[in-house]
Structure 1
């Protein structure tokens, strides 16, 4: 995360997938009221003009506290997030100490709102908004959920999204994230192979290996590659089992965060491939 530029607006850094970005009506309302609480009517009007000038949108009247919640409700999400950075830069005072204090208080309020409303954003020390992990990790979530758009995958999609929610907690719940990613993969596997008892190496070998051979029949390089991916899935399953809580056994400790992030990332690849195989089989 240290290589991400600070103090720049969200939309200037990240690819936009507005339909799947974490959003919340309560978050929007609370951020709007946080801005409205920063100053008097002259300052609020100045904030509105600054948003118009910097972000290229028309916002209308902003001089009064009650103007801000409906404004934020109607905004595109990118503009809501950008407005935090824009307003932060617009908090000015002739006393530099007071200015720094007001800016810090505003950012702290917005950070608390993000945390309490469980949206996956963080704010850097210069007012820039970022994803809690990084752009690539959030993009993985978006592309995976997009690939699970069919109604029959609703449960899978929900479980995988829960993995990201677990990583948003303070402290991050890597164990919960890993388990949710595992259950999402198991749910999809059993949708494709209803007779499978569970997601395990033996069940993958029994069901997925012949399935893959059939899908890629007469494509020897593709079969060879696909079987390596099957082997990778087996290894992923075996790794995940270290953090599954078996009845009568001691609850495992939290995994190192970097390993939890890696396992959730790998689950995204497995889910997208399995969903594609399911679609290919249905169309053949």
Structure 2
């Protein structure tokens, strides 16, 4: 057994899921316990309940005792369960600032461990805000893309791509808004590179991007062949995104399946990083 993890619960080792859950009864029960433990008295717990009612606009009834919190969270919508983490975090007090910070950190650490172990698709920032999460790879895409768009020239592009992730942070996630923001970010960068282009479409890609790719990778036949495949992939991505564009007079499309929205936003990250690199490389090319 030397090569097996020690001291970890069976479910955490052998019952890991390939995807992440939108909700979990165990998560709700454990967060209820975390809230109960964050209160040092029945008065604390009563104030927690009052704060949830005033901040979130829901009625929760009695909340002064630990045993009252599991049914409270069981009856909530998932949005209110997640909002409660932030509300409780902001409600935790202390005799001084250091004690308050210590109590708040202990509550966040407890809740973070719960979300991780129960394999739900949320994560918590350092100020108690709860955000949508897919997996570490998806988060890495976001970070690397934003880093690659650090120049002030790309401020608008970066803001639009951030909006895509903000849409996925909503409860429930708004995949349609995320996909559209990712598209507009890509279109914005494309038009920065090619000011004479008025929109992002397969035709405009063929007209502007393909010739640039041929110039950038001139005399590198394998590179040109690969780059043109990437151009074709970008065309397909654009055509797919257009199914969720809302044109005036057309019926508003339904939400895309979440896994497709996530895939499209991830693919946008790759396209944005490559286009930004091409933008920099184009500036070093001699005039055609």
In the TM superposition, 1:1-284 aligns within 5 A as 2=17, 38-39=39-40, 64=95, 66-68=97-99, 84-85=108-109, 119-120=130-131, 132-284=133-285
Residues 130-166 of structure 1 show CA distances to partners (whole Å, capped at 9, x for unaligned) of xx21111111000000000000000100100110110
Displacement of 1:39 in angstroms is 1.8
CA RMSD between the two structures: 3.5
Three-state SS of the structure 2 residue aligned to 1:120 is: strand
**Structure 2: unaligned runs, 5 residues or longer:** 1-15, 21-34, 42-92, 116-121
Deviation at 1:120, TM superposition (A): 2.3
CA distance in 1, matches of 2:190, 2:264: 17
Q: How many angstroms apart in 2 are the aligned matches of 1:214 and 1:183?
A: 26
User: Aligned pair count?
Assistant: 199
Aligned partners of 2:123 and 2:130 also within 8 Å: no
Q: Is the 8 A contact 1:179 1:240 kept in 2?
A: yes
Distance 2:183 2:19 in 1: 30
Gaps (5+ residues) in structure 1? 6-33, 41-61, 74-79, 90-102, 105-110, 122-131
Aligned-partner Cα distance in 2 for 1:153–1:72: 40
CA gap 1:120/1:194 in 2 versus in 1, 3 angstroms: same
Q: Distance in 2 between matches of 1:268 and 1:88?
A: 27
Instruction: Kindly report structure 1 stretches of 4+ aligned residues shifted beyond 4 Å.
Output: 34-37, 68-73, 86-89, 111-114, 116-119
CA distance in 1, matches of 2:103, 2:196: 49
1:2 Cα deviation from its structure 2 partner? 2.7
Work out the CA distance in 2 between the residues paired with 1:274 and 1:182: 13
Partner Cα distance (1:245, 1:166) in 2: 17
* d(CA) in 2 for partners of 1:64, 1:118: 24
